[in-house]
Amino acid sequence: MKGLFCIIGLCLSLSVQAAELIGRVVGITDGDTLTVLDASHQQHKIRLMGIDAPERKQPFGERARQNLAHLAFAQEVTVQWRKKHRNRLIGKVLVNGVDVSLEQIKSGMAWWYEAYRKDQTERDRILYSAHEADARRSRIGLWQDPAPVAPWDWRRRRK
């Protein structure tokens, strides 16, 4: 019986670990989505975990896309991911160890996507929340707008 619990525990701990994808960024869709080409020349659409950037037609949408391109386009990246949604990997993208999602938040180009906080580590939740608060206080990027509309609200209004 003890052996069964050990096996179940091992399976549960393995399912929590992120898979890793390494490749080069070959496309930027918007401020929170990019395309990575792996070593076998397969393309992977990646949705940045933990953030939601303005939609392209929203104020700051194009600037968020441009900022993501500046951070990641043509760069070799490591994507740490745990799940797929709508044919996209949901993951944390690192360029030379730098968290691209966090950089989008720091530059005021994205919201911390608190609704999906359970998908993040405790450390990332704290960092993303704190840096969003700093960007808001400093009125950086989209926080210059007196009444910025969160992308999830903007999408709901458009339906």
Measure Cα distances from 41 to 70, 81, 85, 87 in Å.
23, 19, 21, 17
Residue with tokens 């441009």: 66
Catalytic residues, which ones? 47, 55, 88
Question: In sequence order, what are the beta bridge partners of 20?
Answer: 80
Helices (H), 20-121: 61-72, 100-106
In whole angstroms, what is the distance from residue 63 CA to residue 54 CA? 9
In whole angstroms, what is the distance from residue 87 CA to residue 40 CA? 18
